[in-house]
Structure 1
Amino acid sequence: MKRSQALILGGLASLALLSGCNQKGATESARTDTAPQEKQVAESSSGPALAVVNGEPITREDVMAFVQYKQQIQPNAQINPALLVNEMINTKLLVQEAERKGLDKREEVQRQLQVHRAAVLVNALVGDFLKGLDLSDEELRKEYDAQIAGIEKHEYKARHILLKDKDKAEKVLKELKPDGSNFAELAKKYSEGPSGRNGGDLGWFAASSMVPEFGDAVKQMKKGEISKQPVKSEFGWHIIWLEDVRDTPVPSFEESKERLKMIVAQKKLQEHIAELREKAKIEVQGMRPPTSRPDTMPPAEESSESAAPQPMQAPDEPVNP
């Protein structure tokens, strides 16, 4: 969900940076103390202020919202509350300075603020929608069965040497020992693909995850075999050594449950968006409106335990099992 996250996090970033933008009456000084006369201003429905910057409060709730934003950007980062408050004070000062210069009145800034406001609202709506879902095991099991049905029976572990020139590939092929004992050495020496530095190691992969010519060749080979001829693909000529074959590991239903919830919830959200589009009056100027559902939420990222087939790729980099 990288694109959705980028939009949402962008909105949260702006929310944190622009908190208090609509509060006026800032003085020209940059005092950050909490003098008694300012404490009364600082008391609000959001609770007592942790700091007051030119009469504008930074509350505990403001800090918590900023913490959540930070954790989404850097999940494992250690957050120092004192430093965070200081960072928010600096942000508040910069916002006040921008307002004094009238930057918030600029047309392009207003447009950006509207975009960020929309992102925050969408994030809130999606959160409410997902919280309201009550997914049954029956729904999850149905999705699990569909995912399992798409899994290939076998996975392959192979190395390759990639060369642009066929004649050179044939010469390298003749240097290889039948048992593959010098394959990694020759891959490091000759391969023109990124995996060459790793001895041509591609790790475990499904045949369908590779370009068709490579995947088809691997499926026809036996364990321990080196391709008799270089295999041509759009990337060049491949000399392949099939090191091992195994049954594709399939995660159990219980192991997949959390991921299944995410997938089913995503589908339901897409269906909800489709319903909104059906009910809405949409006029698109200068282009044809899409007939399919918009790619509002890209497919969930696959983990190593994913039951879904991997996307096709070039056999140039090691593939995680």
Structure 2
Amino acid sequence: MENKVLATVNGIEITDAILDSTIASLAPERRSYFESEYGRKQLLDQLVSVELINAFGTELGLESDPQYMAQVEQALKDIKYSFTMNKILGTITIEEDEAKEVYEAHPERYQGQESIKASHILVDDENLAKELITKIISEEISFEDAAREHSSCPSKEQGGDLGEFGRGMMVKEFEDAAFAMNEGEMTKSPVSTQFGYHIIKTTEKKGSEPQKFEDVKDEVMNKMLQDKQMEYYTKLMTELQEKFPVEYKK
């Protein structure tokens, strides 16, 4: 494809290739706009403006300005550093087989979150809570009916059902009691929290079984890649300090 010259500013050519590379460097959410015919024209105008200002900067003698030249030198160092790092770290890769070996050797690192399903009855009076516990145990009333009749929590409409939740989602006193019980078990005494007195029944428990490799593959590979890159970087720094003179001034 011909690299068409789109504009010339003070002898400097702005070509299709320059415009394309500028668009490619943009963030994806901005890139799509400038890929349109109108967007390309707008970006071309911006590039022309840049070259006009740069030409004026040359006329002002910036190349002999010490502050400007110091920033140019630093910018070149930063670009060189970035390209060099990309070049050396880009050669480091992690294969899926390597990641699977690490996953299988350390299953404890990839546990799923422990969760439960529970229901509760919330009341303001401790004696009422004790009375309801007695009635539920003696089967004078079902847990669900007691919740609908006495609970002050909106969950009473579902018989006290709070659904599924993990650790850290409920107040500590409630969580400790709910997670300590087996499936189908109910607290034998009211659990006091800042909200009142709870009668809690744990209806289902899900353990922290290991997650499938496919579900955590990207996480495992990214972590291994970061570790491998850091290990290489640390080793490289030691080698380079032996190769190139380094002297710290006091």
TM-score (norm 2): 0.54
1:272 paired with 2:228, answer: no
Mark the runs of 5 or more structure 2 residues left unpaired by the alignment. 117-122, 126-149, 156-163, 180-185
Report how many residues are paired. Answer: 192
Q: State the superposition RMSD in angstroms.
A: 4.6
Change (3 A) 1:48 1:76: closer
Q: CA deviation at 1:57?
A: 1.2
Corresponding residue number in structure 1 for 2:158: none
- 2:228 equivalent to 1:228: no
Q: Does structure 2 retain, via aligned residues, the 8 Å contact 1:71–1:77?
A: no
Change (3 A) 1:215 1:229: closer
**Which residue in 1 is equivalent to 2:91?**
132
1:180 aligns with 2:135: no
Matched to 2:71, the amino acid is Q
Q: In the TM superposition, what whole-angstrom CA distance separates every residue of 1:188-247 from its partner, at most 9, and x where no partner exists?
A: xxxxxxxxxxxxxxx97664xx9xxx896565141799972349xxxxxxxxx9x99755
Partner amino acid, structure 2, of 1:129: I
* Contact 2:5–2:14 (Cα < 8 Å) also in 1: yes
Alignment TM-score, normalising by the size of structure 1: 0.44
What are the superposed Cα offsets for residues 72-118 of structure 1, whole Å, 9 maximum, x if unpaired?
6x467422222222221122222222332234544443343334333
Q: Which has the larger radius of gyration?
A: 2
2:27 partner SS: helix
The offset of 1:144, in angstroms, is 3.6
Unpaired runs of at least 5, structure 1: 1-45, 158-172, 183-202, 232-240, 287-321
Local SS of the residue matching 1:51: strand
Which deviations, in whole Å up to 9, do the C-alpha atoms of 1:33-69 show, x marking residues without a partner?
Answer: xxxxxxxxxxxxx955322111111233322331222
Distance 1:56 1:118 in 2: 25
> Aligned with 1:228: secondary structure?
strand
SS of residue paired to 1:150 = helix
Q: Measure how far apart 1:253 and its partner are.
A: 2.4
Task: Say if 1:119 and 1:265 are closer, same or farther in 2 by CA, change over 3 A.
Answer: farther
Distance 1:147 1:57 in 2: 58
Aligned residue for 2:178, secondary structure, equals: coil
Structure ranking higher in helix proportion: 2
Deviations 1:147-202 (A, max 9, x none): 75235553569xxxxxxxxxxxxxxx959x856328xxxxxxxxxxxxxxxxxxxx
Distance in 2 (alpha carbons) for counterparts of 1:112 and 1:204: 55
For 2:78 and 2:165, the matched residues in 1 are separated by 39
d(CA) in 1 for partners of 2:107, 2:60: 59
Q: State whether residues 154 and 245 of structure 1, in contact with CA within 8 Å, keep that contact through their aligned partners in structure 2.
A: no
Identity %: 14
The 1-side partners of 2:249 and 2:166 are apart by 45
Which letter maps to 1:154?
Q
Query: What amino acid is aligned across from residue 181 of structure 1 in structure 2?
Result: P
Contact 1:47 1:61 in 2 (8 A): yes
1:8-23 correspondence to structure 2 within 5 Å: none
User: Given residue 23 of structure 2, which amino acid in structure 1 is its aligned partner?
Assistant: V
CA, structure 1 residues 218+229, in 2 after alignment: closer, same or farther (shift >3 Å)? closer
* Structure 2 CA distance for aligned equivalents of residues 253 and 85 of structure 1: 48
Partner SS state of residue 86, structure 2: helix
